[in-house]
Amino acid sequence: MKNIKSLTLAFVALAGLASQPAHALKAGDHVLGIGLASINPDASTGRLTSTGAQPYATAFQAQTTAASADVSSELTASVSWLYMYSDRFGVEATLGLPPKHTIDLATPNGTEPVHPAAAEVTQYSPAVVAKYFFNETSDKLRPYLGLGLAHVSFHSIKINRSDATVAAIAGTSVDMSSSFVPIYNAGFVYEFNDRWSLNASVSYLPIKTTATFVGTGVTTKGDLDLNTIDYVVRIGYRF
C-alpha cells in the first residue's frame, strides 16, 4: 500500500498539463514511457527436499519441513516503448531498474523458527506486451487490455551467513531458475496533449522458480511460486 501511495503522489503535479488540447493514440505512433513500478510478490513454497551426506540430509529435511518464505515488495524505475500498429492495437516493450527483494524464511520445525532477511535477490524481468485499446482516437482516455511474455531471472543472490540455519542449508551456493512467464495486463492511457500522456496499469505475473541450496555435503531443492502484482505509472512522450 505504501508503494501505491508513492506512485500516486509522484504524479499529482502533472494534472496541470491537461489544459492543452489532446490528440489520442493512432496507428504509427511511438511512445516512450518513464515512470515507477510497484512490484508485489505473494510467495508460496513447495516441499523442500534434501539429498546428500548422512546424517546431514535427514537433519536438513526435518528442519525445512513446512518451511515458508516471504518476499518483500519493492518500488523501482520503469521504462517502456510502445508502437501502435493500428488505431487499436499496439505492442509495448518494458524494462526497469531490477528490484532487489529481501526474503524472510520461516522453518517452524527447526531449532530457530524465524529467519528475517535470510537472503537478498535481484530480479530481472524484461517483457513484451500486446495491447488492445478501446474508445476512439479522438478520445483523451484510452483503456486497454494486454497479454504478454516476460523473461524472469534472479541474480546476485546473497544469504545471511550470520544465521546458522541459513548458512548450513545454503552456505556453498544458491541458485534460482529462470523462466518465461505470461503477463495479464489492464490499464489506460490519458492524453494531456499531442505529445504528453499518462499511462497507468496493473499486471499479474504467475512466476515460478526452482530454488537450489547447496550446503555442507547436502543439496536442498524446492519450488517457489511468486504470484506477482505490478502497479505501474509512467509519463509518455509521443514521437
Interval 46-85: pLDDT, tens? 888 888 878 877 877 777 788 889 999 999 999 999 999 9
Cβ proximity of 96 and 134 under 8 Å: no
In a domain, 26, yes or no: no
Per the DSSP assignment, residues forming a β-bridge with 200 are 188, 233
Asked if pLDDT for residue 19 goes beyond 50, the answer is no
In a domain, 19, yes or no: no
In a domain, 197, yes or no: yes
In a domain, 27, yes or no: no
Which pLDDT score is estimated for 14?
Answer: 46
Instruction: Print the domain residue range for 116.
Output: 2-13+32-238
Number of separate domains in the chain: 1
Residue among 46, 42, 165 nearest 112 (CA): 165
Which pLDDT score is estimated for 53?
Answer: 78
Reduced to 3 states (helix: H, G, I; strand: E, B; else coil), residue 113 is coil
In a domain, 20, yes or no: no
Asked if pLDDT for residue 134 goes beyond 70, the answer is yes
Q: In this structure, are strands 179-191 and 114-124 parallel, antiparallel, or unpaired?
A: unpaired
For the four alpha carbons of 161, 163, 168 and 174, in that order, the dihedral sign comes to negative
Q: In this structure, are strands 114-124 and 173-176 parallel, antiparallel, or unpaired?
A: unpaired
pLDDT digits (tens, 9 = 90+) for 150-208: 999 999 999 999 998 888 888 889 999 999 999 999 999 999 999 999 999 999 999 99
Supply the pTM of this predicted model.
Answer: 0.86
- The one-letter amino acid at 181: V
In a domain, 22, yes or no: no
In a domain, 216, yes or no: yes
Q: What length does the chain have?
A: 239
Mean pLDDT of the chain: 89
Query: Alpha-carbon distance 23 to 43, whole Å?
Result: 42
Asked if pLDDT for residue 34 goes beyond 60, the answer is yes
61, with CB counted inside 10 A (0-12, 13-18, 19+), is middle
In a domain, 189, yes or no: yes
Which pLDDT score is estimated for 32?
Answer: 98
Residue 163 belongs to a domain with what CATH number? Answer: 2.40.160.20
For the segment 125-133, the average pLDDT, to the nearest whole number, is: 98
